[in-house]
């Protein structure tokens, strides 16, 4: 089934998905590269994958199917083996008298259709779908983590018994003994399974925690830790040793903390793991941070920026010099915000260099340097070297000491745009933090243009429950947030009618169900964006407090994080409970 290019272009234009100019540019590139026009549009971010697949399905005259929330009968699903489904992006989802309906990313893949037809003996009815649907169905091939562990334990019972016996033996083991333990088949399978399921569930961290009598495995998903598995405590020695082997850590060092990293590929995604081990009372605790290197496609809007805050960031990115800082605690999405800004700035005419720990996303045409403190390559030394590389834009992963802060300020004074992160709880709090690091206030006023503070809140799913605030709830909410300002922002951005009051604005609660779990999926940012204006510069020189600077910033139109949280709750993106969980005033 070949797609008629002329019909495809006609429908794309008529639907308004892509402008005529963009379509013509992409058509030329498709001809030059001898590639599909749809693939070019997708790679350049001019169309979403869902819109592309819907359009292709319309042109081909076949259905488009979304399977992200569908539970498929295993007898139908198993008609296509998991390796074929995973490698060829094709899944079976419905069997009728007419034949077997299969969802695919590419209906031109005739060899795989022919293979499935011969294997099943059924007529194959191809349907178009998108990557998210394929991923959602692939998860269903796997048993639950608990069931998979039981399967491993049953199949490998004799070997696992030996491993547990080894773990129970008292006394210190040699490095060779620990290496043999780490390479034991059941241990390898357990660690592989833990990692596999963590990635499938979109976890950001894996915690392996020894207790008095058991070993607890927890996943951090959407910012919340969930118990994933409880194992016999004796299995801890083998699991920790296996992870140490992967991360190239010292196997026989259990008294001191260690840090390492390793990489693997799953479902076509390159994934980095940052490993940390820490001695605790009951043994070594291991935490693995999961970083998907080729994650892309973010925009400031999808991260949750809007209105005046969005305009302020775009204005700061048009500057040739100065500093833009992202502030917040660990895990608040600061680095993702910086990468999104870098993506906007990443053009052929500029040289962008970064020094990071770790490199979380790999970006084309950006010179990224990994900090290696053990050999003396610190943020400060890396930044000092970068400035000899003729950069236009510099990103420093984190300003954490006086030397790095001084070099970053110097870089912005000498004609560079500097992007970095800083650990403070609010935008205004970044100013006293830099002063504490030894940066003179007059240098901060000369360099810092914009400070973004942020948190991540869990995003509601489509099954959310609508409700309206009672008078008592409004009264309690007014004690912690300026509701008049929030109403003003909602009216200014034309979210609500100019005459609406808070009683008329719908809010939402999470609604748990079997398909969508607790009613939340993924996260969105809430932000405050402080523009360093002339009046705020004067206050900084005078030594005004953080609170005084924040009051002035609010007078000049800054929406605080708490206000933005209430704003996002009014949009139905999250709940008020989520906002209060992550923001304290």
Instruction: Report the C-alpha gap between 419 and 424 in whole angstroms.
Output: 16
In angstroms, how far apart are the furthest CA atoms of the chain? 81
Residue that wins the pLDDT comparison between 170 and 344: 344
**Token pair in block for residue 184:** 């034991």
| pLDDT score of 538 | 96
Highest mean pLDDT pick, 77-91, 249-263, 439-453:
439-453
Q: What is the mean pLDDT of residues 220-228?
A: 88
User: Would you list the domain boundaries of the chain?
Assistant: 1-61, 142-292, 307-582
Structure tokens at 188: 């390898």
Question: Which tops the pLDDT comparison, 346 or 80?
Answer: 346
Class of 307-582 per CATH?
A: alpha beta
What pLDDT, on a 0 to 100 scale, did the predictor assign at position 401? 92
Is pLDDT at 546 greater than 80 in this prediction? yes
What order do you get walking across the sheet with 224-232 strand by strand?
A: 224-232, 214-221, 205-210, 283-292, 269-280, 258-266
> Taking a C-beta distance cutoff of 8 angstroms, is the pair 299, 323 a contact?
no
Q: Which residue has the higher pLDDT, 73 or 547?
A: 547
Q: What percent of the chain has pLDDT over 70?
A: 92
Which class for 213: exposed (0-12), middle (13-18), buried (19 or more C-beta within 10 A)? Answer: exposed
230-277 pLDDT per residue, tens: 888 888 888 999 999 999 999 988 899 999 989 888 766 788 899 999
For residues 350 and 363, give the distance between their C-alpha atoms in angstroms, rounded to a whole number.
Answer: 14
CA distance 245 to 273: 13
Q: How much is the pTM?
A: 0.72
Within 13 Å, how many C-alpha atoms sit on residue 3's CB side?
24
* Per-residue pLDDT tens over the stretch 93-127: 999 888 999 999 888 788 888 888 888 889 999 99
pLDDT band at 149 (very low <50, low <70, confident <90, very high): low
142-292 belongs to CATH 3.90.1200.10: no
Q: Is the pLDDT of residue 82 over 90?
A: no
Q: Which of 105-109, 294-298, 549-553, 576-580 has the lowest mean pLDDT?
A: 294-298
Q: What is the pLDDT of residue 94?
A: 92
- Say whether 524 sits in a helix, a strand or coil: strand
pLDDT band at 162 (very low <50, low <70, confident <90, very high): low
Assess whether pLDDT exceeds 60 at residue 515: no
- Find, among 415, 420, 417, the residue nearest to 437 by Cα: 420
Contact 431, 549 (CB under 8 A): yes
Specify the range with the lowest mean pLDDT, choosing from 342-346, 355-359, 434-438, 550-554.
Answer: 355-359
Q: Would the pLDDT of 7 be above 60?
A: yes
What's the whole-number average pLDDT of the chain?
87
DSSP run (H or E) holding 350: none
What pLDDT does residue 314 have? 95
H or E element in which residue 46 lies: none
HEC string of 197-264 equals: HHHHCCCCEEEEEECCCEEEEEEEECCEEEEEEEEEHHHHHHHHHHHHHHHCCCCCCCCCCEEEEEEE
Of the pLDDT bands very low, low, confident and very high (cuts 50, 70, 90), residue 328 is very high
Per mean pLDDT, which of 15-24, 27-36, 87-96, 176-185 is the most reliable? 87-96
- Most trustworthy range by pLDDT among 20-24, 188-192, 296-300: 188-192
Instruction: Write down the pLDDT at residue 404.
Output: 93
Closest to 427 in 3D by CA, of 409, 461, 454, 460: 454
């Amino acid at each position: 089934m070949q797609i008629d290019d002329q019909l495809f272009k006609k429908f794309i234009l008529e639907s308004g998905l892509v402008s005529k100019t963009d379509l013509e540019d992409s058509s030329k590139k498709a001809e030059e590269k001898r590639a599909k026009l749809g693939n070019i549009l997708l790679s350049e971010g001019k169309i979403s994958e869902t819109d592309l697949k819907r359009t292709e399905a319309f042109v081909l005259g076949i259905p488009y199917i979304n399977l992200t929330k569908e539970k498929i009968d295993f007898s139908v699903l198993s008609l296509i083996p998991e390796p074929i489904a995973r490698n060829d992006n094709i899944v079976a989802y419905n069997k009728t008298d007419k034949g077997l309906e299969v969802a695919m990313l590419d209906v031109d893949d005739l060899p795989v259709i022919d293979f499935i037809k011969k294997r099943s003996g059924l007529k194959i009815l191809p349907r178009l779908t998108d990557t998210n649907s394929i991923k959602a169905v692939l998860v269903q091939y796997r048993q639950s983590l608990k069931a998979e562990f039981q399967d491993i334990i049953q199949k490998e019972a004799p070997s696992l018994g030996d491993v547990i016996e080894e773990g129970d033996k008292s006394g210190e083991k040699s490095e060779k003994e620990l290496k043999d333990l780490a390479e034991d088949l059941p241990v390898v399978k357990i660690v592989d399974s833990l990692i596999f399921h963590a990635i499938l569930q979109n976890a950001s961290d894996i915690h392996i925690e020894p207790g008095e009598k058991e070993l607890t495995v927890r996943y951090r998903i959407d910012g919340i830790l969930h118990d994933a598995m409880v194992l016999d405590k004796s299995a801890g020695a083998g699991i920790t040793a296996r992870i140490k082997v992967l991360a190239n850590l010292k196997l026989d060092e259990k008294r001191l903390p260690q840090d390492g990293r390793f990489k693997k590929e799953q479902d076509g995604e390159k994934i980095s793991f940052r490993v940390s081990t820490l001695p605790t009372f009951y043994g070594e605790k291991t935490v693995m941070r999961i970083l998907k290197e080729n994650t892309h496609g973010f925009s400031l809007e999808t991260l949750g920026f809007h209105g005046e805050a969005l305009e302020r960031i775009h204005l700061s990115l048009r500057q040739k010099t100065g500093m833009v800082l992202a502030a917040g605690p660990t895990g608040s999405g600061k680095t993702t915000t910086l990468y999104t800004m870098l993506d906007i700035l990443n053009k052929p005419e500029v040289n962008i260099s970064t020094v990071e720990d770790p490199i979380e996303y790999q970006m084309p045409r950006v010179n990224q340097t990994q900090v290696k403190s053990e050999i003396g390559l610190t943020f400060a030394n890396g930044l000092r070297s970068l400035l000899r590389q003729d950069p236009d834009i510099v990103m420093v992963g984190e300003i954490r000491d006086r030397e790095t802060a001084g070099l970053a300020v110097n870089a912005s004074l000498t004609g560079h745009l500097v992007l970095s992160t800083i650990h403070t709880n609010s935008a205004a709090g970044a100013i006293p933090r830099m002063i504490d690091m030894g940066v003179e206030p007059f240098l901060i006023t000369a360099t810092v243009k914009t400070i973004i503070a942020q948190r991540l809140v869990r995003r509601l799913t489509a099954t959310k429950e609508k409700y309206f605030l009672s008078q008592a709830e409004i009264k309690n909410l007014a004690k912690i947030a300026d509701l008049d300002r929030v109403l003003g922002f909602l009216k200014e951005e034309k979210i609500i009618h100019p005459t609406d009051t808070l009683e008329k604005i719908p809010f939402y609660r999470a609604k748990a169900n079997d398909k969508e779990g607790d009613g939340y999926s993924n996260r969105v940012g809430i932000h405050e964006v402080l523009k360093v204006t002339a009046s705020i510069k004067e206050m900084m020189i005078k030594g005004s407090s953080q609170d005084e600077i924040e009051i002035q910033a609010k007078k000049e139109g800054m929406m605080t994080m708490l206000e933005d949280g209430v704003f996002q709750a009014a949009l139905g993106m999250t709940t008020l409970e989520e906002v209060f969980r992550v923001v304290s005033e």
